[in-house]
Structure 1
């Protein structure tokens, strides 16, 4: 029977010749992931169930990233529980202060995921790893506990939506604009429990950072997972990061999809998702009356090196607008170090921004950027629900790093194309 790429990975993980949408399967896992919020709950369930050991210490990943460095006593206790469990079970892939990062940027960077993997994580944005040709999805802490103990998880095989990409992204338009535009088109439940499978000639023009960003937000359309085909860029990325040997699966030519959506990348523009859903997208150029108080550039969605490059391109030599707090968070220690080597940190600070060690902090309203009543923030994070980043009357506008950085300079939502054009014109006048 013809299968999609996701269905083939799941069939392989379950030891079956084929699977069909809706079928319940028990799959063997190549990896299990948890963070400082979800792992302590999983540990409690693990011990409550009477499990005494994990199925394979090398296949478990625990990353302290949400409230780390610890913001209060409760956060410290959560981290301590993770440290104790990982020490007891001799889990080598435990990432603490000094070597940690935001989990969904860190695992690909550390070579912890490869093409063909079947991975679960107790975090909804675990779907990020589809960019590497893996099946990955978020689960609850109870499923994480069972996965750590047995190395298995139950899945209902998803049907699929094919997103056929054409063309090439214009300047100052990024993967964030692709996924926000798609969610704006199909809605936050438009791919509910389906696989979003990206195909077409346009895939080749997208960087790995673009693909990781796009798959990261597949869950914001309700998708079970997002996934890209494995190409030369994927293989080069996996090799460069020391990942295990890939197992490459391709969709059958006659695989069935519930629908096919065609996106012409050439026609995309910088967009912003208005409160309080990621589907409320508008062009940045039509949002420029919105005055803001804060900008956040970082997160598991947009804290990678290309995102830092984009922020630097817009901010260096310029000043953040008075009254705007600009917070920049490199997603991993390696990205942080590269920013130092490139001179980015000095440029960000001289522009009037602050730079943090890797943390999820402000994305979930944890710390490092909480909003007061009625404040507005342009953020490169992935959710803009009511009260997501602070007070229930505050507002979060989702955007790309280009748009966020441009908005930091003007004090209002701004189209980065216009801001960069004005910068170039001013530079020409000074020559």
Structure 2
């Protein structure tokens, strides 16, 4: 048996055989994730195939998060497809308005994804769950239908890139800055169909929220998945989920890369020397240090804190600490979207929501709407937004002439006060 990476070990355990990068395998899926946009396409393929039953009903999850509550008649009708399907098959893991959340924040919160899992979702940011030590990747809606019917799917096991983060992160550096720096260095296709395996001393300083942000944007470098091996912080997270939810979906299984494992390349980043990174339009790879952004005097029209990348409790805390006793600039709209209803409730109990509202922010329901330019924060012609989201392509959040700058939550909060992209440190 040759040395293996964590990704190869997860697949080997599922295939019950030693498998390696570039092998093509069919393996069991531990969790299938659909949402209100992608599930109707999967349902159509499921029915066109003549399927009458789900292979693993308890391993299929639908989260209504993109256009919920419905923004128009079309989205309401689209949502009904998922609602009817969930009711027809008695889905246990179906989450709608009464228990809603952005899917990649909600599933970890519910204890539905754990270390060692193979997870697929019809959403590109499914790679978020790699923060838990799982293999997790986005696939198409028809791929999801195949897994709904068979409980399995086909994979070419990706080669791996090791990303070693060195040192204690400098002040004001979060998981968002680390992944923006990686993408800045290797580009939006630098890890095409490869695993980004994040490791190094820095990881021990990162909260789970930061780790979710880090893995969430692996796909923005073209990666098939991002992954972080479980440690004490991960295990504590699972224990908290057990206490909060009564139990996890299944027991975590922990895998670690062998010292001699083969990597396509090794990237080392000294995080003690980093500044917060701002990704300029129109690519996540167009990263520049905050000092450059401050010099550029970039006035903004909107600030946004939320999404599956940075809508967690720590993001709301960071924003509240900066905004406390301050008011947002009179020319600025600040929109805050908690990742789940539970996060919203916790933030309310801790006083964060009151601080945000008193500062002039609008706090919305959990939704992906603003991030994808759907609703709840669309940009108009020539408007500029500083955002904690994950993409800043042309027209991503609205008008094709608008601009989106990606940053961590502290930068966004400080910029909302100043009316221009600002350094919160």
How do 1:340-379 residues align onto structure 2 when only pairs under 5 Å count? Answer: 340-379=348-387
Structure 1 residue 268: Cα displacement = 1.3
Deviations 1:30-70 (A, max 9, x none): 11000000001100010011111101111111000000111
Corresponding position of 2:4: 3
Corresponding position of 1:234: 234
Partner Cα distance (1:261, 1:303) in 2: 28
Structure 1 residue 85: Cα displacement = 0.3
Structure 1 residue 167: Cα displacement = 1.1
1:307 aligns with 2:315: yes
Partner Cα distance (2:52, 2:16) in 1: 27
Partner Cα distance (1:75, 1:239) in 2: 37
Corresponding position of 2:260: 254
How do 1:21-420 residues align onto structure 2 when only pairs under 5 Å count? Answer: 21-242=21-242, 243=248, 244-288=250-294, 289-417=297-425
Q: CA RMSD in A?
A: 0.8
Partner Cα distance (2:334, 2:383) in 1: 14
Partner Cα distance (1:311, 1:170) in 2: 19
Partner secondary structure for residue 164 of structure 1: strand
Partner Cα distance (1:388, 1:63) in 2: 22
TM-score using structure 1 length: 0.95
TM-score using structure 2 length: 0.97
Structure 1 residue 348: Cα displacement = 0.8
Corresponding position of 2:245: none
Partner secondary structure for residue 120 of structure 2: strand
Deviations 1:111-168 (A, max 9, x none): 0001100010000000001100000000000001111111101000100000111111
Structure 1 residue 13: Cα displacement = 1.7
Partner secondary structure for residue 241 of structure 1: helix
Partner secondary structure for residue 416 of structure 1: coil
Deviations 1:45-103 (A, max 9, x none): 10011111101111111000000111011111111110110111111110000201000
Corresponding position of 1:425: none
Equivalent residues of 1:270, 1:416 under 8 A apart: no
Partner Cα distance (2:359, 2:390) in 1: 25
Structure 1 residue 170: Cα displacement = 2.2
Partner Cα distance (2:376, 2:4) in 1: 45
Partner Cα distance (1:199, 1:328) in 2: 31
Which one is further off, 261-270 or 57-66? 261-270
Structure 1 residue 203: Cα displacement = 1.3
Partner secondary structure for residue 300 of structure 2: coil
Deviations 1:262-321 (A, max 9, x none): 111211111100000000001122112111000010000000011111111111110100
Unaligned runs of 5+ in 1: 418-431
Partner secondary structure for residue 62 of structure 2: strand
Partner Cα distance (2:419, 2:16) in 1: 55
Structure 1 residue ranges, 4+ long, deviating more than 4 angstroms after superposition: none
Partner Cα distance (1:19, 1:57) in 2: 28
Partner Cα distance (1:379, 1:286) in 2: 17
Partner secondary structure for residue 218 of structure 1: helix
Partner Cα distance (1:124, 1:115) in 2: 19
Partner Cα distance (2:171, 2:330) in 1: 28
